[in-house]
Chain A
Amino acid sequence: MNRTLDIIFHNTTRFFALSVLVVLGALFFVLFNEAKPAIDAFGLEFLTNSKWAPNMEIFGGYPAIYGSIVSTIIAMAIATPIAIGIAIFLSELAPPWLAYIVGMAIELLAAIPSIIYGMWGLFYLAPLLRDIWGGNGLGLATAGIVLSIMILPFMAAITRDAMKTTPAILKESAYGMGATRWEVLKDVVIPYVKSGIIGSIILALGRAIGETMAVTFVMGNAHKIPDSIFKPATSIPVTLANEFTEADTDLYYSSLFYLALILLVISFTVIAIAKFWFLRNLQEQKV
């Protein structure tokens, strides 16, 4: 009796553990399968063709891919220095009580649903930028700024955690030799946690590139390569969110799945690099 139950329990747990692998396999298979007609029709040229004309049955993914990459680069360029600044402030400068409160607030902010960042971007940031830059205030720059604020808490929290893993004795030795705070940071802390910081930046990048709700309101939704980052554009998640329910032909539908597949491959690669290249060492150091 106990033996049978043991076997049942063991196999049930194994079945559900394996289901994770099955779901990932199915995810790739289904997206590829749905994208097949578009892959057959456009091949790899889809990646470089910038014409998206549903009425003519011509679909090119370049504007969406371009928008995803450029908005993510803008977001990373803004968020990375600020997040590192916050991490330095929290781990080295702030008195413990302040570091505790600010650290806690930042961790809570990381949990705020991304759609709220998007609404703020639409109703507060876009009008402000419209006054500064002209145009309608929507575009890659606006999306990049909203994204940077969205990933900031996450990035700052894990960068701070990485910095905290530096053994105190290393820092104390450096201070003991008369090093300034900046020298300790530059020559002791940062070299020690370098791979952790790079890993967390890439992980944040993975989040930013696949983010839908924070950017869909402020991208402007124009299927072309904009002349400037202040003009309306689109990105892969934004195209999916806006057009998925409108796809009225098979090729249109399939092209959207082609975009989804590209996004999946990009984010899978980015996250795998962050995990295996940079964060693996960090995890092993901790154990």
Chain B
Amino acid sequence: MTLQERRILLNKVIMILSTTAALLGIIFLFWIIAVLFYKGFTALNLNIFVHDMAPPGREPSGLRNALVGQLILVLGASAIGVPIGVLAGTYLSEYGGKKSRLARLIRDISDIMMSTPSIVIGAFIYAILVAPMGHFRGWAGIAALVVMMIPIVLRTTDDMLQLVPGSLREAAIALGAPKYKMIIQVVYRGAKTGMLTGILLSIARIAGETAPLLFTSFSNNFYSTDLNNPIASLTVTMYNYATSPYEDWIDQGWAAALILALFVLGANIIGRIIIRKRKGEH
């Protein structure tokens, strides 16, 4: 075999190997998605949305209380986490800038916080909000999600604001606008779509979290909107149902998984469409 033949053969072998690796990975990932959709859609029915959780074997049963609880937790966390994250990101971009050491430190710490194991954050919130009060409560779940959310919103806000051209800022300042007005009316407006996408993705991200809720908001078999008491969530219900020995609970766990996945995927797809549209305009 000549050197050239050997080189071409080696190239072919490597290319076949990497295509096989890609196929293998993709097959497993699609297997999971197929299972999720098949099991989820089989178990999905109207009862899921109109009835509360029931003991195994009892009809009618659904997930209404978990859906409502999930919605309250995610919206509550967003209502607190988004403004804090946006303002903090504003500081980094508009007052800190690229060179400020403090801003760089906060950026680095946020990046690390984003990858902190979520169960550790759950334990942390348990120690400061649940243990002293003596019982699980919805607020503690919201607090855990807020801690996870702030770094994500902060980093995307920071990135998006830095994309706004400096000339726009200078124009506003030259017209005599005070800095806060310049930021709110010019910079925010310029970065609007990017910020919206970032916020949407961060909401999708925390919506799928289970570990930080396990020992903060806990779970509740009954319909409750009281954040001072344990509150049900889709994710913790999935955990409880999937580990139970009851066929009907396990099926409902898959229905919950499908609802959650559709929400998360939907948010991600919408985010992508928004970004693409904006790119198209420019």
**Residues on A close to B: CB < 8 A?**
2-3, 5-6, 8-10, 12-14, 16-21, 23-24, 26-27, 30-31, 33-34, 81-86, 88-90, 93, 102, 104-109, 111-120, 122-124, 149, 152-153, 156, 180-183, 185, 203, 206-207, 209-213, 216-217, 237, 240-241, 244-245, 256-257, 260, 263-264, 267-268, 271-272, 275-276
In whole angstroms, how far apart are the Cα atoms of A107 and B29 in the complex?
12
Q: Report if B75 contacts A (CB, 8 A).
A: no
Could you say which residues of chain B place their CB within 8 Å of the CB of A23?
113, 147, 150
- 0/1 interface trace, chain B 233-249, chain A, CB 8 Å (1 if under): 00100110011000000
Q: Could you write out 6 A-B pairs with CB less than 8 Å apart? A: A2-B181, A19-B88, A85-B17, A123-B242, A182-B15, A271-B111
B119 and A237: CB pair below 8 A? yes
The segment from B19-27, B50-58, B164-172 found at the interface with A is B19-27
Could you say which residues of chain A place their CB within 8 Å of the CB of B183?
9
Interface residues on B, range: 35 or more
B179 and A119: CB pair below 8 A? no
Could you say which residues of chain A place their CB within 8 Å of the CB of B214?
241, 244-245
The segment from B59-67, B190-198, B221-229, B260-268 found at the interface with A is B260-268
Q: Which residue of A lies closest to B182 (CB)?
A: A6
User: When A86-B22, A116-B36, A267-B115 are in contact, do A111 and B204 touch as well, CB less than 8 Å?
Assistant: yes
Could you say which residues of chain B place their CB within 8 Å of the CB of A210?
115-120
The residue that A9 contacts in the complex, of B102, B109, B179, B204, with Cβ under 8 A, is B179
A183 and B11: CB pair below 8 A? yes
B109 and A268: CB pair below 8 A? no
Could you say which residues of chain B place their CB within 8 Å of the CB of A3?
178
User: When A86-B21, A268-B116 are in contact, do A113 and B180 touch as well, CB less than 8 Å?
Assistant: no
Could you say which residues of chain B place their CB within 8 Å of the CB of A27?
116, 120-121, 124
Q: Report if B163 contacts A (CB, 8 A).
A: no
A85 and B150: CB pair below 8 A? no
A212 and B22: CB pair below 8 A? no
In whole angstroms, how far apart are the Cα atoms of A26 and B124 in the complex?
9
The residue that A275 contacts in the complex, of B92, B112, B207, B238, with Cβ under 8 A, is B112
B91 and A13: CB pair below 8 A? yes
A16 and B88: CB pair below 8 A? yes
Q: Report if B79 contacts A (CB, 8 A).
A: no
Q: Smallest distance from the beta carbon of A78 to chain B beta carbons, Å?
A: 10
Could you say which residues of chain B place their CB within 8 Å of the CB of A14?
91, 95
A85 and B210: CB pair below 8 A? no
A2 and B22: CB pair below 8 A? no
B19-48 interface with A by 8 A CB criterion: 19-22, 24-26, 28-29, 31-33, 35-36
B88 and A20: CB pair below 8 A? yes
User: When A19-B150, A108-B269 are in contact, do A5 and B254 touch as well, CB less than 8 Å?
Assistant: no
The residue that A115 contacts in the complex, of B90, B95, B150, B239, with Cβ under 8 A, is B239
B117 and A114: CB pair below 8 A? no
Could you say which residues of chain A place their CB within 8 Å of the CB of B250?
123
B124 and A21: CB pair below 8 A? no
- 0/1 interface trace, chain B 124-143, chain A, CB 8 Å (1 if under): 10111000000000000000
Q: Smallest distance from the beta carbon of B20 to chain A beta carbons, Å?
A: 7
Could you say which residues of chain A place their CB within 8 Å of the CB of B181?
2
- 0/1 interface trace, chain B 1-25, chain A, CB 8 Å (1 if under): 0000001101100110111111011
B19 and A93: CB pair below 8 A? yes
The residue that A119 contacts in the complex, of B207, B238, B265, with Cβ under 8 A, is B238
Q: Report if B232 contacts A (CB, 8 A).
A: no
B115 and A115: CB pair below 8 A? no
B22 and A256: CB pair below 8 A? no
Q: Report if B154 contacts A (CB, 8 A).
A: yes
B19 and A257: CB pair below 8 A? no
Could you say which residues of chain A place their CB within 8 Å of the CB of B7?
180, 183
Q: Smallest distance from the beta carbon of B42 to chain A beta carbons, Å?
A: 13
The residue that A24 contacts in the complex, of B113, B215, B269, with Cβ under 8 A, is B113
Q: Report if B105 contacts A (CB, 8 A).
A: yes
